A and B are shown apart, each in its own frame.
Chain A
């Protein structure tokens, strides 16, 4: 299958990198294995099986290739939204330390409710506010989770 051909190459590369990293850590002796011993064999198994899958995917008969179920990414617009969600999560994780939990959660939720699955402004703002306060209440006040307070040390 086409998707196996490319994904196996990524795993092959990963396996080789793990082996190199393990060798740098030292394999030790058989009676006294070093820190890289187990990870080296794990990398080796990963690389060998990735190679097997790669070779199998290249040898697959034409009929099998035609059987490819469906393209990996079907809807470009929704795929873009999914990528935006990943980005939003990463930005949210970073800004939480600066703006604190309540403010950053509010911004994050408004973004999701306006951009990813567009809702009316009133719904997005009200929903984000209620959810942020509810989470703050449950985790910070109820479960004493010590959520980030940000640079201003308020929430």
Chain B
């Protein structure tokens, strides 16, 4: 029961010197990019994407996963000590974390953040371990129409969860679908929107697009706006919370775990929305909501637990359906595909070493991160003192070299710069990049399943509504498109979150 036998098999894979080393490297890099503002897990994973091509797939995935959940741990350090989020999922931690630091409780805030992250992260792996195998068995019944409907539903959920305008998110998803169609048509063999450019015949690469949209654009924003790092000067002591802190945090940690895990499964929600939702929920149910923002521990424990729990949740659709719910997961998918691993419901059966190896590595990784983030906190504080003047050329250089070394062509570097400019403009004009990237990645799968379904039904779109599972997914998608436009629900959407912001 609960896959304990398989978990031991996974532990036998991770407990080798090489894999432990890759897990450790992933956790260290993850914490580092989490700590450093302006470099998130997506950019770091993109950077290491070319490196992973030289190592076995299990080790590559273990390292990439380590970066992802490691960044969630590291992000809080910057939020608490500098009042600048290390990465997007730690934005909300700034509110109470920094105030706690100002009151001389930086140690407790950092400690609770690490311990909450550990609890949320570990429990979400238990959830993943329990949910993923039965879900994968269920997904074996999926045909072309079900997959198409699932992708449509996923993209609509993604746009529904978008924090800005849903219309804008839908536009970005549509543009992403178009970007995903660039390349060579698999059925007719004709080039599509390649304009005679050699690198476009194989389709747009995920790495240059993601690095441009998330890495380069962030640096451009920072150059334009300027980053001022002022570390709150305080002695970090008493990392372990006292009894009262634990009593105050027990509820937020439990709720944060559930919120994070289940929101993490949804496309687009991921750690960012999970942390915001957790904060909003804690504020709503608190007897003293007015104290939020003044340095209450609940405002740190809940969101930090939720953003780590979301990581375990995000692995569920990736490992069972082959559908990535966040751009980071999309990179993991790209990594698996580059090895020729069949991602989807058959992954558990055909590649149990990858499936259980990654799950087991996450348990080990969370323990490593607890050690990295509690006793070694002083080291990360020193990292925070590196001036941005030194960091930004290095980040740019990492992006350029990372993209170049993928296919040894400068054309992809130019492509990355172009997407960097697009990403910068999208930030300026309030368009979210995540729906675009997700849609771009899912587009080839979507197109294949759409065309196969229509061929199967002799051109009738009713095939998506006559098969029960497909119909449920399609109706859910349509309902989600209509619901936010109903007047009485329009005002309700993200009311709590907006209040929080």
Chain A residues with a Cβ under 8 A of chain B:
3-4, 7, 11, 14-15, 18, 21, 25, 29-39, 42-43, 45-46, 49-50, 52-53, 72-75, 78-79, 81-82, 85-86, 89-90, 92-94, 96-97, 105, 108-109, 112-113, 116-117, 119, 127, 131, 135, 139, 143-148
Contact segment of B98-106, B199-207, B247-255, B452-460: B452-460
Indicate whether B167 reaches chain A with its CB closer than 8 angstroms.
yes
Min CB distance B481 to A, Å, is: 11
Q: List 24 A-B contacts (CB under 8 A).
A: A3-B430, A11-B175, A18-B178, A31-B455, A36-B192, A38-B177, A39-B178, A39-B192, A42-B175, A46-B178, A82-B424, A85-B220, A86-B420, A89-B396, A94-B410, A97-B410, A109-B393, A135-B401, A139-B405, A145-B404, A145-B408, A146-B405, A147-B405, A148-B408
Give every chain B residue within 8 A of A127 (Cβ-Cβ).
390, 393
Indicate whether B386 reaches chain A with its CB closer than 8 angstroms.
no
In the complex, which residues 143-185 of chain B have their Cβ closer than 8 Å to any Cβ of chain A?
A: 165, 167-168, 170-171, 174-175, 177-178, 181, 185
Q: Which of B171, B224, B389, B430 contacts A11 (CB 8 A)?
A: B171
Question: Are B401 and A145 closer than 8 Å at their CB atoms?
Answer: yes
Give every chain A residue within 8 A of B394 (Cβ-Cβ).
131
- Interface of chain A: mostly helix, strand, loop or mixed: helix
Distance between Cα atoms of A11 and B223 in the complex (Å): 26
CB-nearest residue of chain A relative to B166?
A: A49
In the complex, which residues 411-432 of chain B have their Cβ closer than 8 Å to any Cβ of chain A?
A: 413-414, 417, 420-421, 424, 428-431
Question: Are A117 and B392 closer than 8 Å at their CB atoms?
Answer: yes
Q: Which of B429, B443, B454 contacts A33 (CB 8 A)?
A: B454
Question: Are A86 and B413 closer than 8 Å at their CB atoms?
Answer: no
CB-nearest residue of chain A relative to B171?
A: A49
Question: Are B417 and A30 closer than 8 Å at their CB atoms?
Answer: no
CB-nearest residue of chain A relative to B448?
A: A38
Question: Are A89 and B171 closer than 8 Å at their CB atoms?
Answer: no
Question: Are A37 and B193 closer than 8 Å at their CB atoms?
Answer: no
- Interface of chain B: mostly helix, strand, loop or mixed: helix
Q: Which of B188, B226, B400, B457 contacts A89 (CB 8 A)?
A: B400
Question: Are B224 and A90 closer than 8 Å at their CB atoms?
Answer: no
Given contacts A38-B177, A86-B220, contact A21 B410 (CB under 8 A): no
Give every chain A residue within 8 A of B168 (Cβ-Cβ).
49, 53
CB-nearest residue of chain B relative to A128?
A: B393
What 16 additional pairs, Cβ within 8 angstroms, besides A75-B225, A85-B396? Answer: A11-B171, A31-B454, A32-B455, A33-B450, A39-B178, A39-B192, A42-B178, A49-B174, A53-B171, A78-B223, A81-B223, A89-B216, A143-B405, A145-B401, A145-B404, A147-B405
Q: Which of A38, A96, A116 contacts B447 (CB 8 A)?
A: A38
Distance between Cα atoms of A26 and B413 in the complex (Å): 32
Distance between Cα atoms of A69 and B219 in the complex (Å): 22
Q: Which of B181, B193, B400 contacts A92 (CB 8 A)?
A: B400
Question: Are A148 and B401 closer than 8 Å at their CB atoms?
Answer: no
Distance between Cα atoms of A52 and B174 in the complex (Å): 14
Q: Which of A7, A36, A97, A113 contacts B393 (CB 8 A)?
A: A113
Given contacts A7-B429, A82-B223, contact A45 B458 (CB under 8 A): no
Give every chain A residue within 8 A of B177 (Cβ-Cβ).
38-39, 42
Question: Are B408 and A146 closer than 8 Å at their CB atoms?
Answer: yes
Min CB distance B453 to A, Å, is: 10
Question: Are A78 and B192 closer than 8 Å at their CB atoms?
Answer: no
Give every chain A residue within 8 A of B396 (Cβ-Cβ).
85, 89, 112
Give every chain A residue within 8 A of B397 (Cβ-Cβ).
105, 108-109, 131, 135
Question: Are B413 and A30 closer than 8 Å at their CB atoms?
Answer: no
Residue among A37, A46, A93, A143 facing the most chain B CB atoms (10 A cut-off): A93
Give every chain A residue within 8 A of B450 (Cβ-Cβ).
33, 37-38
Question: Are B417 and A86 closer than 8 Å at their CB atoms?
Answer: yes
Give every chain B residue within 8 A of A108 (Cβ-Cβ).
397
Give every chain B residue within 8 A of A4 (Cβ-Cβ).
429-430
CB-nearest residue of chain A relative to B425?
A: A7
